[in-house]
Structure 1
Amino acid sequence: MITQASLSYATLIQRPPLWALAGTIIAVAFYVRAVIGFGSGLISVAVLTLIFPIKEVVPVVLLLDLLGSTLLGAYDFREICWPELRWLIPGSVIGLALGSYILADTDAQNLTRFLGIFILAYVVYALVLKPEHLPQAGLPWGMPLGIFGGIVGSLYGGGGPPIVAYLQMRHLDKRAFRATFQGIALTDNVLRALIYVALTLLTWQLAVGFLLLIPPVLLGLWAGNRLHMRINQRAFLMGTLAVLAAVGIKYLIP
């Protein structure tokens, strides 16, 4: 079994099978991202860390997510619901700062279990009511759920679940949902990239290794976007809940 191989440019270019394996994982992750708007970070980190060191995986996946958010955001730019972002982005920034403080002074494992329970409770709630019949959330709810998402982003590398719950309860159509999520994801990605650079977690070798993984990202986004345009709204909503359920289960497993 291959363990602890480097995700750097030098290793990937010298070991094509590793490059192909990492590329396949990335392509699948970004296929899911294009179909439902989120999930690439969770899938990439969960699988790539079985092969590569987590301290290398997280910064590289962050760059890949930054690329994915930029491309999807640009593609769907006209579909972005700006009023949502006016509440979500300030909340997310506050949450990222709070999450950094919590991470420094608290055992994050207990918080992980709480997050898993919260996500699964929401999934059950949404399934019982049916996603299309969820109550309408007011715009101001974007602030507390943005803060919650920012905290989750600081602790676990992606604040998707609380933001997904909020956008579902805003009853956006699938394209607007995906576009708006990219706006908040882009904010999160840029802030965390600056933190990683400041902490020297993002090295030159990893940055060049990221360049080798751009083609799989583009392939996954292209293929996933084709499905996104074809599925109906209910299939889209059920897909988001399925990914949320997988996230919740993952957070409950030590």
Structure 2
Amino acid sequence: MIMHASLSYATLIQNPLLWAIAGVIILVAFYVRAVIGFGSGLISVALLTLIFPIKEVVPVVLLLDLLGSVLLGAYDFREMRWPELRWLIPGSLIGLAFGSFILADTNAQNLTRFLGVFILAYVCYALLMKPERLPQVALPWGMPLGIFGGVVGSLYGGGGPPIVAYLQMRHLDKRAFRATFQGIALTDNILRAFMYIALALLTWQLTVGFFLLIPPVLLGLWTGNRLHLRINQRTFLMGTLAVLAVVGLKYLI
């Protein structure tokens, strides 16, 4: 496996194999994002960091996720649940501020085991209870889980797990779940972009490299959305847990 390569435009354009590998990873990640509403950041970062430095992967994936959030959010706009966002967004803003500074000053890969334990613990709990029978939490739980999601999002490129747990325990249907997740993701993505620019994590070369990866994002979203519209609610819930379990195992290993 090629190690310590760069996600910059110059490197990708000169190394078609690296570009192709990155493109396949992005396509799969955004296929999953369209099917279950989240996971593109976590999957992309988990796999791309096997080849590229995490401090390049996270900013590029941020831009890709921003594009995905805009497209899916526009498609599902009428399905968004605004009361959930009123609690999730403030918490997420606090969390992403802490996470951005941690990413700038710390090797974030040393913190992945904690995230893996959290994810697997929630998956086991949800399977034991059955996802459709999870207890319904009150709206204010969106604040602490939003904070946790913001920190995770800054460190790993996707704050999915804590927010997924919250939205599942709010018992939203699949379209409302996906739409509401895009609302919080879009807010996080925009603010993280400004923070990454201020902290010199998002450079011009990485930004141009992002444009090379837009086609697999579009293909992944289009094909994944076709499946999302066909699956039933239980399959959707089990799919979210399956993706969480795979990501949790990856972070532990």
TM-score in terms of structure 1 length:
0.92
Aligned to 1:113: 113
TM superposition shift of 1:166: 0.4
SS in 1 for 2:229: helix
Q: Which segment drifts farther, 104-113 or 18-27?
A: 104-113
Aligned to 1:244: 244
Deviations 1:29-87 (A, max 9, x none): 10011001111111111212222222222211110011011111111001110110001
Between the aligned partners of 1:103 and 1:84, the Cα distance in structure 2 is: 27
Aligned to 2:191: 191
CA-based RMSD: 2.1
Between the aligned partners of 2:249 and 2:206, the Cα distance in structure 1 is: 30
One-letter code aligned to 1:43: I
TM superposition shift of 1:201: 1.8
Between the aligned partners of 1:105 and 1:197, the Cα distance in structure 2 is: 15
Between the aligned partners of 1:250 and 1:178, the Cα distance in structure 2 is: 24
Report how many aligned residue pairs link the two structures: 253
TM-score in terms of structure 2 length:
0.92
Superposition pairs of residues 98-247 of structure 1, within 5 angstroms: 98-100=98-100, 112-247=112-247
Between the aligned partners of 2:6 and 2:110, the Cα distance in structure 1 is: 30
**Distance of aligned partners of 1:105 and 1:223 in 2 relative to their CA distance in 1, 3 Å threshold:** closer
One-letter code aligned to 2:10: A
Aligned to 2:8: 8
Residue ranges of structure 2 left out of the alignment (5+ in a row): none
Q: Which segment drifts farther, 94-103 or 142-151?
A: 94-103
**Distance of aligned partners of 1:108 and 1:5 in 2 relative to their CA distance in 1, 3 Å threshold:** closer
Task: Note if contact 2:136-2:170 (Cα within 8 Å) is conserved in structure 1.
Answer: yes
Between the aligned partners of 1:159 and 1:74, the Cα distance in structure 2 is: 20
Deviations 1:135-172 (A, max 9, x none): 11111111111112122223333221110000001110
TM superposition shift of 1:100: 4.7
Q: Percent identity?
A: 86
